[in-house]
Structure 1
């Protein structure tokens, strides 16, 4: 299993609109081959409430990229969500080495 971690800096004042758009967009990612689960979390400190982190569990890196990232669903995902990010997103993949989710 691979954990994708995406840091999503949402434009200040756009948080509610982003969350509403994500509520719809999450259906796209959940339907992708190799998808396992996801979680969207928001900064809880007073200075980072516009910062989100998306955690997505995939069967493999390839399920995410090129799989999802080269799909028609990803193009729709981008249209729905990427307008909210400023300056841009950072994405990295991780493999579990210890803990309850280790394969």
Structure 2
């Protein structure tokens, strides 16, 4: 029984290490999102760190319009990054978890 428990604990440690490695790797996965008309472009990592924002000159003329564009485009970008992040971390965690009767 204790051998099984030790084996499970080791698998959990390995899974935790893989999750941490995946988190680091997701810092290198870049995603792009643009407004529908392409006047605003955002680049961020799968860990939801914004790396670049490109704004067309015509958007700089209307503060309210620019704010709307930023809100819509950033929310889409963050959602896209969140989806990638959660899928990757879930897959790694699920892969490394030990099979526990009644929980699988």
Is TM-score (shorter-chain normalized) higher than 0.5? Answer: no
Structure with greater strand percent: 1
> Which protein has the larger Cα radius of gyration, Structure 1 or Structure 2?
2
Structure with higher helix content: 2
> What is the TM-score of this pair, normalised by structure 1?
0.31
TM-score (norm 2): 0.31
